[in-house]
Amino acid sequence: MKEDKSMKKSKDGTDMQIKELETKIVSLENSWKRAVADYKNLEKRTAEEKTNYMHFTKSQVIKEFLPFFDNLERLEDHTNDEGLKLVIKDLKNTLKNMGVEEVDALGKDFDHNTMEAMELKKGEKNKVLEIYQKGYLLNGNLLRPAKVVVGQE
Partner 1 sequence: MSKIIGIDLGTTNSCMSVMEGGSAKVIPNAEGANTTPSIVVPDQNIVGIPAKRQQVVNPKNTVFSIKRLVGRRYDDPDIQKIKDSYPYEIVEGKNGLACVEVEGKVYTPQEISAKILSKMKADAEAFLGEKVTKAIITVPAYFNDSQRTATKEAGQIAGFEVDRIINEPTASSLAYGLDKKKNEKIVVYDLGGGTFDVSILEIGDGVFEVKATNGDTYLGGDDFDQKVIDWLLEEFKKENGVDISKDRQAMQRLKDAAEKAKIELSSTMETEINIPFITADSSGPKHLNIKLTRAKLEQLVDDLIQRTKLPMENALKDSGLKKEDIDEVVLVGGMTRMPKVTQTVKEFFGKEPNKSINPDEVVALGAGIQGGVLSGDVKDVLLLDVTPLTLGIETLGAVSTPLINRNTTIPTQKSQVFSTAADNQTSVEINVLQGEREMAADNKSLGRFMLDGIAPAPRGLPQIEVTFDIDASGILNVTAKDKATGKEQRITIQGGTGLSKEEVEKMVKESEMHADEDKKKKEEVEARNLADGLCYTAEKSLKDAGDKVPEDVKKDIEEKVKNIRDGLQTDSSDVLKQKTQELSSSLQKIGEHLYKQGGPESTSSSTENKEGSENQKKDSEEDKNDPVEGEIVE
The residues of the shown chain that bind partner 1, judged by CB under 8 A, are: 31, 35, 38, 42, 56, 71, 74-75, 77-78, 110, 112-113, 115-120, 126, 132-133, 142, 145, 147, 150, 152
Residue 79 vs 97, nearer CB to partner 1: 79
Integer Cα distance of 3 and 148 in angstroms:
97
Q: Do 126 and 110 contact (CB within 8 A), yes or no? A: yes
Minimum CB distance to partner 1, residue 65 (Å):
14
Residue 92 vs 127, nearer CB to partner 1: 127
Helix residue spans in the chain (DSSP H): 2-78, 82-97
Minimum CB distance to partner 1, residue 6 (Å):
37
Give burial (CB, 10 Å; 0-12/13-18/19+) of 18. Answer: exposed
Minimum CB distance to partner 1, residue 86 (Å):
20
Integer Cα distance of 27 and 48 in angstroms:
31
Residue 3 vs 23, nearer CB to partner 1: 23
